[in-house]
Structures are given as structure tokens and as C-alpha cells.
Structure 1
Amino acid sequence: MSSKLKKEIYEWIKTIGVALVVAVVIIQFIRPTIVNGESMYPTLEDKDYLIINRMAYKLGDPTKGDIVVFGTDLEQENGDKKDLVKRVIAVEGDHLKIKDSKIYINGKLIDEPYIHDNYTTGDIDTDIPKGKIFAMGDNRENSMDSRMSQVGLVDEHDLVGKVMIRLFPFNSIGTVK
């Protein structure tokens, strides 16, 4: 085998090796997901394609206002477990009260310019325990979220990641808040 051929093979192996390392790193740090439904309207819409940061809550804690993806025990039509995309409303140590469609955190009415309408159902008065968050969709009348017993408080261990970027539709590419 000529030295030129050996060098060419070596370059190919090196390129493939670097590509594999990059792919593994990307898979560990980010994950794509697709919005299924209207529960986060108008912030996110059905079929929006998102990139989530899988490391966000391994390196830090969720904060109020974060849009997160978390795993649930709910089943999809195909039998797989369902991930939900919601907004963090309260974190551990917060006192949450929902009364007369208004949300109070630690006794203060919160400003929610991102919600679809100004009506939030539920009559809740609770403290958020350690390791849990309370999450709701921005389209409150069309959202299965922490107000419902099927979802309840979300364990921080069930957080898949924080929504970073919307990639599709193309006219809405950018960060999500």
C-alpha cells in the first residue's frame, strides 16, 4: 500500500471519528421536539419544531417563566410516554394561589403578558415542595398541566430540558420566551 493511500485512509478515519464525537456531544446536550397541540398558544403553536437544552437543569435550577419539556406517565396513542411543553409558574419554596382566575406567587399577583386569555381555571392554594415545580400552558383553557391531577406537580428529575430555540416554522425561527 502506498504512503499516499495510507494517508488518505488515515484522513478519512480521522474525519469520521471527529464527526462521531461531535454527534455524541450534540445528542447529550440538545434534543429536538415537536409541539403537539395548542396548550402553549400564542407563544408556541401546534407542530412548532423546537430545540431543547438537555443540560440546563443538570447545571442549574428551573426558574419562573422558563419554558420546559418534561416527561409524564400519560400515554400517547402509540403507547409511548408523553412529554409536555409548559411554562414554569412556581418553583420549590414558593406559595402558589390561584383564585378568581388570578395567580399569586408568595402573595404577589404575577404579570403574565404571554397568556392567551386572562382566565385561569382552578382554585389552588399550595406550597411547592423541594424538588418540584408547578407548570402551566399559556393557553390556560386548553392545557393539561399542573392544575390537573393527571399531571400535578412536576418532579425536577422529570425535566427533559429547557426550550432554547424554535427552528420551524421558518418565519418564527429564534429564541422562545
Structure 2
Amino acid sequence: MRFFQRRYQENTTLLNICKYIADVCVVIVLAYVLVTFICCRSTVVGNSMEETLSNDNTVLINRISYAFNGPKRFDCIAFEQDSVDSSKIYIKRVVGLPGETVQIKDGRVYINDVQLDDYVDTTILTPGVAANPYKLADDEYFVLGDNRNNSEDSRFASVGMVKRKNVVGKVWMVIEPFDSFGFVK
């Protein structure tokens, strides 16, 4: 009888070790799937998104957030430029949606001739291409940096309007540095 009890204990220990190894493998596979298909990581370069994001913040970008619906006004998005040789990822705030007419006059943003109730209370000094009314196509977004007067964004030809196909995803959270850790508003 003792032989069977000892044998049972050995099998239980071996079974527990196998379960632990299986759990670790599942966690590793899930983390790989999460990082590869659902999220990606990027580092903020520059101060164009100041107060929300700072230079050298590392952020997670949710790639599947816009799988069914496009970005909404004031979403913080990551996008690539519409050129083959560019691998730079920009992070900006969506202001104008497809089909809308955007204009910047008297330092304020107007959407379809109505002043935007913007949460950034800054007078825009350089309206760029938005000095005149600009009608967005059905797949274009007008984006601005939160630091309106220190941002390379849709107002300038170097960035231009963001096409839907170039949107990488929604900027989800800051993961580094740790004192800035949290979700992006």
C-alpha cells in the first residue's frame, strides 16, 4: 500500500510541474499574439503632443481598435505617411473627420463653418493649408498636435491629410517612463 501512495505522490508532483510548464507556455503565446497582432510599441519623438505625451514616452498602440469603425474626433492616433520610403510613425489628435470642411481662422479651428469646441485653449499662429476651407475626402482625417504651435501636422504638406489606410491604430497607453504610466485621454 505504501508503494502506491509514494507512486501517487510522485505522479502528482510530476503532473503539477507539467501544468506549471503548460501555463507558462500559454502566457508566452498569449503575450506574443498580443504584441504581434493587437498592439505595437512606439516612442514619441518631439514635443508636438505636449501636455498629453512628452518626448521619449513609450506608448502602446492598439492596432485593432479601428478594425470596424474609423477614428473619432479627438482620438489620439498613430499613422504612417503615404509614401513608400517612410517608416516614421506620427502620433497626433484627430480634429477633422471624413467629408467635413476644415478651416483655421482667427487662430481657431472651424468644422463646417462652426467653431470647434476644442479642449486645447491655444490660438493657432500658423493655419497652413487650412487658412482656406479644406474639404476632406471620404477617407481623410485632419490631425493636429496638442501643442498646436509646435507641431508638424495636417496643416503642412510634409504630413498632409491622413488617409484611413495609413492609420496604424489608437494610442492606448504610456508605458515608459513609469511616472507617466497610464491611459491616453
TM-score bucket (shorter structure): 0.7 to 0.9
**Residue identity matched to 1:87:** R
Counterpart of 1:57 in structure 2 is 66
Counterpart of 2:124 in structure 1 is 119
**Distance between the aligned counterparts of 1:171 and 1:141, measured in 2?**
26
CA RMSD of aligned residues (A): 2.5
**Distance between the aligned counterparts of 1:46 and 1:129, measured in 2?**
32
| 1:39-64 superposed Cα distances (whole Å, 9 cap, x missing partner) | 11122111112111111111321111
Q: After superposition, where does 1:19-30 map in structure 2 within 5 Å?
A: 19-27=27-35, 28-30=37-39
**Distance between the aligned counterparts of 1:74 and 1:39, measured in 2?**
21
**Distance between the aligned counterparts of 1:25 and 1:9, measured in 2?**
25
Q: Given that residues 72 and 97 in structure 2 are in contact (C-alpha distance below 8 angstroms), is that contact kept between their aligned partners in structure 1? A: yes
Shift of residue 16 of structure 1? Answer: 5.1
Q: Given that residues 174 and 184 in structure 2 are in contact (C-alpha distance below 8 angstroms), is that contact kept between their aligned partners in structure 1? A: yes
| 1:134-158 superposed Cα distances (whole Å, 9 cap, x missing partner) | 1111112221111111211111111
Q: 1:129 aligns with which of 137, 154, 160?
A: 137
Name which of structure 1's ranges 161-170 and 149-158 shifts more when overlaid on structure 2. 161-170
Equivalent pairs: percent with the same residue?
33
Q: 2:114 aligns with which of 99, 108, 115?
A: 108
**Residue identity matched to 1:146:** S
Counterpart of 2:93 in structure 1 is 87
| 1:99-137 superposed Cα distances (whole Å, 9 cap, x missing partner) | 22211012211122235x322412131111111111111
Q: Point out the structure with max Rg over C-alpha.
A: 2
**Residue identity matched to 1:42:** E
Name which of structure 1's ranges 39-48 and 65-74 shifts more when overlaid on structure 2. 65-74
Q: 1:162 aligns with which of 162, 170, 174?
A: 170
Task: Indicate whether 1:66 and 2:75 are aligned.
Answer: yes
**Greater fraction helix:** 2
**Distance between the aligned counterparts of 2:34 and 2:59, measured in 1?**
15
TM-score, scaled to structure 2: 0.80
Counterpart of 2:180 in structure 1 is 172
| 1:151-171 superposed Cα distances (whole Å, 9 cap, x missing partner) | 111111111111111223323
Counterpart of 2:22 in structure 1 is 14
Shift of residue 34 of structure 1? Answer: 1.3
Indicate how the Cα distance of structure 1 residues 120 and 89 shifts in structure 2: closer, same or farther if over 3 A, else same.
Answer: farther
**Greater fraction strand:** 1
Q: Given that residues 73 and 82 in structure 1 are in contact (C-alpha distance below 8 angstroms), is that contact kept between their aligned partners in structure 2? A: no
Shift of residue 90 of structure 1? Answer: 0.6
Q: Please, which runs of 5 or more residues in structure 1 have no aligned partner?
A: none
**Distance between the aligned counterparts of 1:169 and 1:12, measured in 2?**
32
